[in-house]
Structure 1
Amino acid sequence: MTDLPPPAPQETTRFPCPNCGADYRFAPKQAKLVCDHCGHEEATEQGDRDAAIAELDFKAALAEQLPAAEMVETRASSCPNCAAHVVFEGDTHATECPFCATPVVVDTGTHRQIKPRAVLPFQLAERTAHDAMNTWLGKLWFAPNGLADYARKGRKMNGVYVPYWTYDADTKSRYQGERGTVYYVTETVMRDGKPEQRQVQKIRWRPAAGRVKRWFDDVLVLASRALPKRYTDALQPWDLSKLEPYSPEFLAGFQAEGYSVELQDGYDEARAHMDAVIRRDVAFDIGGDRQRIHHISTAVNDVTFKHILLPVWMAAYKYRGKTYRFVVNGQTGRVQGERPYSAIKIAIAVTLGLLAAAAIGYIIAQNQ
């Protein structure tokens, strides 16, 4: 088991300290830019929070009619290993993927992307996130012994701002279905040659139709293909009321991934979530003991969106040639990740279980 090498420093957003010229980093505890070399601190600019939550028009974006100020030209490449959208800054032409440490070389030309509208600053320091990961690792059953060593001696975690889309929409739905009412009847059956009564459940179905409406606010969709979605989804909830207007200062000392899930694809995923919620609303509106839904027709209006960056601490290591990754919510400390299993520990546990079962069987047999 080995640690993966840390990502190349060229990927980190840098701000020079005016006192000594060393790099600032954004310190989550102080919520300030801090110079580790001379100790100088500088407050981040306080933006208009309303601007952070302001939405952009979805149809205008699809028609490429967003204001020029909302777009940015980037130099980026997709990681050949994990598909992360690696953004290159300055004159950098090669680096390592911040998610899996695979070497990545910049493509020729530039890519036009929608700017981040808001950022959720890191609120947990690296040490706190590392402690949370160590606690999580310590609770894993049947993990290789090397995991404990990694938890105790592993290198620092990597702070990455991960791209997300949020979608708002106003929906109005018409439906047709049936409302079921449960009732019971008494039937007489023969058992062992004798008549016996029993209660039998029946359902009386009646037509049902109506309308439901719902306003969806900030339906969150991961805009990265670099991390397993089942883990990033499990990092929720995020308190999006803490979003700040996007400023590069929040990225000082951290890394940020460009989005690799396009706006339309993200909306398709958000729409699937909306449809599931609407279906539950329809079932509730039908009422009764059981529901059948035959048809739902939904009109979706006033669709808006934001491109936001959310904070994630990450660590990765290799075990028997496979990379395993851990992610920690940089706001709440919630941990998710991949893990290997120790075949030896599982075999020992199975053997002990069989021995215990055999011993219990022997004792029972002796007492009969």
Structure 2
Amino acid sequence: MEEQKIQKTELKKACVNCGAELKYKPGTTSISCEYCGYEETISIKESGFEELELHPYLQEMGALRHSEEISMLHCKNCGADQHVEENYKSLHCVYCGQPLVIEDAYRENWILPGAVLPFQIDKKQSFAIFKNWVKRLWFAPNNLKKAALDPQFTKGLYLPYWTFDAQLHASYTGQRGEYYYETRRVRNANGKIVTQRVRKTRWYPASGEVSGFVDDTLIKASHQKTGRIPGKIAYWDLKKLQPFSSGFLSGFVTEKYTIPLKDGHLHSKEVARGIADTWCRRDIGGDTQRVSSMDMKLSEETFKHILLPVYVSAYRYNGKEYNFFINGENGRISGTRPYSFWKIFFAVLFGLIVIGVIVFLSKK
């Protein structure tokens, strides 16, 4: 039966020496035992990534061999869907820190990831990055340091993304603008007559065709509420992608995509249209351009479901939720932060006292 061919990414591998779970070692292609140091090399397909034809999947005709069944937990507090490893008795949501219980797990299919960008920094390095970031924060509550450095609040998370490839062809009509300058005499604010150089534009009709390959258009595949992965850290070097192997997921949480392939494809077409517009303007040339019409067509479309790494720390202060994020590939950090009312109050009070002393001494 086809169902028997479905891969199980949550099945863990035990250490041959002591029986403990082997976990992925960031920055390598190995899984290792935290207790005895035993290591194994992750088996990676020599054929590289497999690009899947887009339209059969959009028509719900994708082959079962490209899908798998995994265990998922849905966070009732923030709505995140997370892949659960079977050895967990309970865990906390990587985004909001609320408890998730294994008995609430359900099973569902997903499109098998075609590639994964493995973590390049480990949890210890992420702690050092958090610590340095916290040190630079003004008026932060003292509890913030504890939250940023406590391992139970920090999780390594693989985020789902879609990538789309396509051959792009577009025909366009528009105008090419060329600048020229005229000198004219005007009266300035002081009533004097002065010369002024004015830029103008001559427009010429333009039309043509452009074509090329659009590679790895990256589209997020999960709905993220306010406070989720900040755009400033959402940059990964996709040249480091590895063909998918469940070994890279060992010891980490995986978020399932919640944005369907169809919606991701629609977003990618918007991105492709922006690329086509840029190509058309470059083809028109001149100093400035107008594109009045453009007919864009995409062909030979393929896609991949890929997983990208981040570290997430969830923290609650005075009933409000805060998140801190570190890019698991390059170490970039971003997050929201609370302010200490009392630190600000005493800082303002101290400032007023200093000003008062200065004023008092100046009157002597």
TM-score under structure 1 length normalisation: 0.81
CA positional deviation for 1:193? 6.3
* Counterparts in 2 of 1:114 and 1:135: CA distance versus 1, 3 Å: same
Match of 2:183 in 1: 186
Mean CA deviation greater in 94-103 or 269-278: 94-103
Equivalent pair of 2:22/2:33 in contact (CA under 8 Å): yes
The aligned counterpart of 2:253 is 255
**In the aligned structure 2, how far is the partner of 1:335 from the partner of 1:55?**
31
Match of residue 128 from structure 1:
125
* Aligned with residue 58 of structure 1, among 42, 54, 58: 54
Instruction: Say whether 1:78 aligns with 2:64.
Output: no
The range that moved more, 257-266 or 221-230, is 221-230
Percent of aligned pairs with the same residue? 37
SS in 2 for 1:179: strand
- Stretch of structure 1 that moved more, 63-72 or 344-353: 344-353
| Secondary structure at 2:37 match in 1 | coil
Structure 1, residues 233-281: CA drift from partner, whole Å, max 9, x if none?
Answer: 4324322232222222222222212111111111222222222222222
Alpha-carbon distance between aligned partners in 2 of 1:277 and 1:341, rounded to the nearest angstrom:
42
What does 1:236-255 align with in structure 2 at a 5 Å threshold? Answer: 236-255=234-253
Report the Cα distance in structure 2 between the residues aligned to 1:81 and 1:354, rounded to whole angstroms.
Answer: 43
The alignment partner of 1:178 has SS state of strand
Residue-by-residue CA offset, 1:149-197 (whole Å, 9 max, x unaligned):
5445665631122211111111111222222222222223345666443
Residue pairs, 1:98-109, within 5 angstroms: 98-104=94-100
CA distance in 2 between partners of 1:298 and 1:33 (Å): 46
What's the counterpart of residue 173 of structure 2? 176
Equivalent residue in structure 2 for 1:165, among 162, 168, 188: 162
Unaligned 5+ runs, structure 2: 1-8
Q: Is the 8 A contact 2:10 2:71 kept in 1?
A: no
Alignment partner, residue 24 of structure 1: 22
Give, as a single letter, the amino acid of the residue that structure 2 aligns with 1:74: I
Q: Classify 1:29/1:196 alpha carbon distance in 2 versus 1 (closer, same or farther; 3 Å).
A: closer
Match 1:321 to one of 319, 323, 327 = 319
Contact 2:94 2:154 in 1 (8 A): no
1:116 CA drift (Å): 1.3
In 1, Cα distance between equivalents of 2:304 and 2:333: 25
**Residue in structure 1 matched with residue 64 of structure 2 by the alignment:** 68
Structure 1: gaps of 5 or more residues:
1-10
Alignment CA distance shift 1:199-1:349 (3 Å):
farther
Rate the CA distance shift 1:128–1:91 in 2: closer, same or farther, 3 A. Answer: closer
TM-score by length of 2: 0.82
Whether the 8 Å CA contact 2:148–2:313 is kept in 1: the answer is no
Separation in structure 2 between the aligned mates of residue 13 and residue 263 of structure 1, nearest angstrom: 26
Residues 171, 300 of structure 1: 8 Å contact kept: yes
1:38-53 map, 5 Å: 38-48=36-46, 50-51=47-48, 53=49
State how 1:106-117 maps to structure 2 within 5 Å. Answer: 110-117=107-114
Paired residues, what number?
350
Which deviates the most, 301-310 or 33-42? 33-42
Deviates more, 1:278-287 or 1:83-92: 83-92
Residues 1:138 and 2:124 are matched in the alignment: no
Q: Is the 8 A contact 1:13 1:251 kept in 2?
A: no
Please say which of residues 230-239 and 87-96 is displaced more in the overlay: 87-96
Kindly provide the CA deviation profile for residues 40-81 of structure 1, in whole angstroms up to 9, marking residues without a partner as x.
222222332x33x22001101111222211012334353233
Other-structure match for 1:298: 296
How far apart are the structure 1 equivalents of 2:352 and 2:276? 50
Give the AA of the match of 1:54.
Answer: E
Q: Is the CA contact 2:176–2:285 (under 8 Å) kept in the aligned structure 1?
A: yes
Question: Which range moves more in the overlay, 98-107 or 60-69?
Answer: 98-107
Matched position secondary structure for 1:231: coil
Checking the alignment, whether the CA contact within 8 Å between 1:75 and 1:88 is kept in structure 2 is: yes
* CA–CA separation in structure 2 for the residues paired with 1:281 and 1:116: 31
Q: Is the 8 A contact 1:13 1:253 kept in 2?
A: no
Shift of 1:32: 2.2
1: CA distance between counterparts of 2:270 and 2:347?
A: 42
What is the match of residue 341 of structure 1? 339
Contact 2:75 2:93 in 1 (8 A): yes
Letter of the structure 1 residue corresponding to residue 25 of structure 2: A
